[in-house]
Structure 1
């Protein structure tokens, strides 16, 4: 299993890195569009759509992205009030859905669940491409926030985990893991800010921008908030999978599960990061 995970990760990097560092925006936008379309297909399967319907939902998400790109929205969406609307939806809606629990998700009407998934995936695609339009340094700093939170939470949870966070949704997560993830993100931010200053980056990272706009205290609160919302995204996808009786969203990425399994924590974080940087 570990060997398969490594092979898949290396193949993904071989595709992602050229698009990530391309001068033009479209290679990255197109690659993400394929991934988000695949995630839309997974969402449809997890929420009761048949094979044709699931493909149609993935195609709808991809078509929405193409339309937004053609209209030039990624360049215009780097800052905007729309991200604050997305933030409010994630905070209030995420709390409401997690409070209802696994049994509450299937009680929502299927069309509402399909539309919600399509909207969430389309918005994270737009947020990621808008972040790339800001600069690679900014984009990578948002990605690594989620990765650092996940890695630190894993090791912190294994070492210190005692109190379960949401046993009915994700039994492996603990409060100690959450605190460890937050600590890991704060350390990463300090290191990244120092590197920004040392290298004189023309495009500041998320951390440097938050520090400039909000000050040290505001930076700390913002990072704790973003880390907490990454956990919400993770729990939300776990809830959807558990309600469908699925371990993974699909087997598209051997050794890693599906696309949704890899981007679940990113779903709220990217729109929220853009919202916080619009202060």
Structure 2
């Protein structure tokens, strides 16, 4: 399993990193679009669509994404999409985690069919808008989620005692969540002090809203990275699967890798917009 995970990770890095660093924005956008269309296929499967229905949903997502490009590229052009996605994650996300409704049935299923399209299309626009602002900027946004995840993993392993959401994801702890938050803030403070790799999400936030508010925004983003992770975990638990798919051997599916990014990206771009 470890060998499979390592091979998959190396292949993903070999494709994603050069495209992110060196490809034009159009090339970067095309690759992200392909990834998110696969994510749409997985989203439909988690809503218990069968047969060709998940493929149809993926095609619908591709068409919605193509149509959305008529809004233009950039933070201001995509602001309505970011706002719609933010409303979903800020209101529906926590509600679902607290009340635990049946998501793949009735009105919730219909709602999530629409919400999935909005979230995935908004994610594409957020990543492309971030890439327009610079390679260092898009990487810094991704780093917030990666640091929160890595910090949570090691802090949870070392200190985790109090379960964060035992009915949804038994492995997550409050100590891990705090550890991930501290990892993000420590790195953010280092970036502020060194003025390295600008522009970054941190430097942009500090310039626009000041240090204290920037740290508060990062705290909110870390919190919603957890919401995104737990939301997908709940979808998987209700669907009776461990991973969103087996597209990435050893790593699960696309949604398993981007679940925390789905709420963080539109929220981050809204704040800097």
Correspondence for 1:277 = 272
Change (3 A) 1:198 1:24: closer
Correspondence for 2:175 = 176
> 1:85 Cα deviation (Å)?
4.2
Secondary structure of 1:168 counterpart: coil
2:20 is equivalent to residue 13 of structure 1: no
2:146 is equivalent to residue 151 of structure 1: no
Correspondence for 2:103 = 105
Correspondence for 1:40 = 40
Whether the aligned pair in 2 keeps the contact of 1:78 and 1:127 (CA below 8 Å) is: no
Whether the aligned pair in 1 keeps the contact of 2:149 and 2:180 (CA below 8 Å) is: yes
2:235 is equivalent to residue 232 of structure 1: no
Distance 2:133 2:196 in 1: 20
> Equivalent of 2:244, from 249, 268, 271?
249
> 1:266 Cα deviation (Å)?
0.2
Whether the aligned pair in 1 keeps the contact of 2:119 and 2:262 (CA below 8 Å) is: yes
Distance 2:217 2:75 in 1: 23
Correspondence for 2:117 = 118
Q: 1:192-271 residue pairs with structure 2 within 5 A?
A: 192-195=191-194, 197-198=195-196, 201=198, 204-271=199-266
Distance 2:27 2:167 in 1: 40
Residues 200-224 of structure 1 deviation map (CA, whole Å, 9 limit, x = unaligned): x4xx100011111121210111111
Distance 1:182 1:78 in 2: 31
Change (3 A) 1:52 1:137: same
2:66 is equivalent to residue 66 of structure 1: yes
User: Cα RMSD over matched residues?
Assistant: 1.7
Give the gaps of 5 or more residues in structure 2.
none
Distance 1:172 1:91 in 2: 24
- Deviating more after overlay: 81-90 vs 33-42: 81-90
Whether the aligned pair in 1 keeps the contact of 2:46 and 2:104 (CA below 8 Å) is: no
Distance 2:121 2:245 in 1: 19
Residues 234-277 of structure 1 deviation map (CA, whole Å, 9 limit, x = unaligned): 00000000000010000000000000000000000000101111
Residues 3-58 of structure 1 deviation map (CA, whole Å, 9 limit, x = unaligned): 11111111111111222123521111111111100011111111121231101111
Change (3 A) 1:230 1:108: farther
Secondary structure of 2:164 counterpart: strand
> 1:105 Cα deviation (Å)?
2.0
Secondary structure of 2:189 counterpart: helix
Secondary structure of 1:260 counterpart: helix
> 1:82 Cα deviation (Å)?
4.7
Give the TM-score normalised by the residue count of structure 2.
0.94
- Deviating more after overlay: 126-135 vs 145-154: 126-135
Number of residue pairs matched by the alignment:
272
Distance 1:114 1:79 in 2: 20
Correspondence for 1:53 = 53
Distance 1:35 1:218 in 2: 33
Distance 1:12 1:151 in 2: 18
Change (3 A) 1:205 1:55: same
